[in-house]
């Protein structure tokens, strides 16, 4: 199944190449059309809005050095409440991952902001906001050899490492079938072989690559090459906020707030704060 290039181009302002959507340079992702007019919801009758999340998914949600709940999702939830004009009604509660669903279904919260994937199965249990963040696949290469788009022909016969049996391996084999695929069981081994030149490139999750590129282990060896590549059929539809299935109006209210946050530049501030090495 091929990517919907028209949809991705409309949402991201990206260009189509060989069945993919790509950007010339890494950038802050923009998933919202500033020209679209979403209705402003009236939540005056809502007694409270409790976001449920976890503490073990940095940089999205975690406990900082002082034990305070922090992260991208925490800042985003507070910004949503501000846009909806209900700051005084908002709460954010952290629970173990396995307790999030039961807490929502029992009415102990109104929304989950913790990365629940929107799939045909989960849509029977939840109503979802639109995606506010997606995770592209990326290539990384040594800086001195990094390629620019168009990249497919330039990668022909190159040794490209990827985590074995992953969605990224399937995507690599399906769309870049001219490369020599080198599967790895552990990310550490993939990175080590990239640094020593045993492989020409690595292919995988852009966000994880971004943290490695910005860390001490990479030691400035490498950079992104080509992409980003968005393929929902391999990589999922992205981050959304989940509400109970019978509360689509609240999910729609989140859409309004998320669009306002994007248009005003607040989302870009959060993104650059928590992802200093952009994976787009």
* Domain positions in the chain: 21-134+238-274, 137-229
DSSP per position, 47-64 = --EEEEE-SEETTTEEE-
- Reported as a pLDDT band with limits 50, 70 and 90, residue 279 is very high
pLDDT value of residue 28? 87
- In this chain, the answer to whether the domains covering 21-134+238-274 and 137-229 adopt an identical fold is yes
20 touches 229 (CB < 8 A): yes
The Cα–Cα gap between 45 and 232 comes to 36
DSSP assigned state of 153? G
Strands across the sheet containing 137-142: 180-184, 159-163, 201-205, 137-142, 222-229
Cα distances from 160 to residues 5, 25, 29, 173, 252, in angstroms, run 25, 21, 26, 10, 42
Does residue 278 register a pLDDT over 60? yes
Per-residue pLDDT tens over the stretch 40-68: 999 989 999 999 999 999 999 999 999 99
Phi, psi of 124 (to 5 degrees): -75, -20
Q: What is the pLDDT of residue 239?
A: 95
SS3 120: coil
pLDDT of residue 128: 97
Residue 129 CB partners (closer than 8 Å, separation 6+): 240, 241, 242, 243, 251, 252, 254, 255, 258
Name the DSSP letter for residue 133.
Answer: B
Q: Which residues fall within 8 angstroms of residue 85, CB to CB, at 6 or more apart?
A: 43
CATH 3.30.230.10 corresponds to the domain 21-134+238-274:
no
The model's pLDDT over 66-104, given as tens digits with 9 standing for 90+, comes to: 999 999 999 999 999 999 999 999 999 999 999 999 999
Q: Which two tokens stand for residue 197?
A: 């030149």
What CA–CA distance (Å, rounded) separates 164 from 149?
A: 25
Nearest to 179 by CA among 200, 155, 146: 155
What are 160-216's pLDDT values in tens digits?
Answer: 999 999 999 999 999 999 999 999 999 999 999 999 999 999 999 999 999 999 999
Mean pLDDT, the chain, rounded, equals 90
Alpha-carbon torsion (203, 205, 206, 208), positive or negative: negative
Let me know how many helices (H) and strands (E) the chain has, helices first.
9, 15
pLDDT value of position 34: 85
Predicted pLDDT at 19: 41
Q: What is the pLDDT of residue 31?
A: 87
Fold for the domain defined by 137-229: D-Maltodextrin-Binding Protein; domain 2 (3.40.190)
């Amino acid at each position: 199944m091929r990517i919907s290039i028209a949809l991705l181009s409309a949402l991201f302002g990206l260009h189509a190449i060989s069945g993919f959507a790509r950007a010339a340079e890494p950038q802050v992702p923009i998933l919202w059309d500033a020209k679209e007019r979403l209705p402003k919801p009236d939540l005056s009758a809502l007694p409270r809005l409790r976001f449920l999340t976890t503490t073990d998914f940095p940089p999205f949600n975690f406990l900082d050095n002082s034990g305070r709940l922090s992260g991208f999702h925490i800042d985003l939830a507070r910004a949503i409440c501000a846009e909806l004009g209900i700051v005084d009604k908002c709460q954010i509660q952290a629970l173990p991952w396995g307790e999030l669903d039961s807490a929502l279904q029992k009415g102990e919260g109104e929304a989950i902001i913790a990365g629940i994937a929107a799939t045909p199965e989960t849509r029977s249990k939840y109503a979802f906001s639109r995606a506010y963040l997606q995770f592209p696949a990326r290539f990384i290469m040594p800086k001195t050899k990094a390629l620019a788009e168009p990249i497919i022909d330039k990668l022909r016969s190159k040794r490209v490492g990827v985590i074995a049996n992953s969605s990224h391996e399937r995507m690599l084999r399906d769309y870049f079938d001219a490369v020599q695929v080198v599967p790895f069981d552990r990310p550490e081994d993939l990175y080590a072989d990239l640094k020593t030149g045993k492989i020409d490139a690595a292919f995988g999750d852009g966000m994880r690559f971004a943290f490695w590129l910005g860390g001490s282990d990479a030691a400035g060896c490498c950079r992104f090459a080509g992409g980003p590549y968005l393929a929902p059929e391999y990589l999922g539809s992205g981050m959304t906020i989940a509400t109970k299935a019978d509360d689509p109006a609240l999910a729609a209210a989140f859409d309004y707030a998320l669009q306002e946050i994007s248009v005003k530049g607040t989302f870009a501030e959060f993104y650059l704060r928590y992802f200093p090495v952009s994976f787009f």
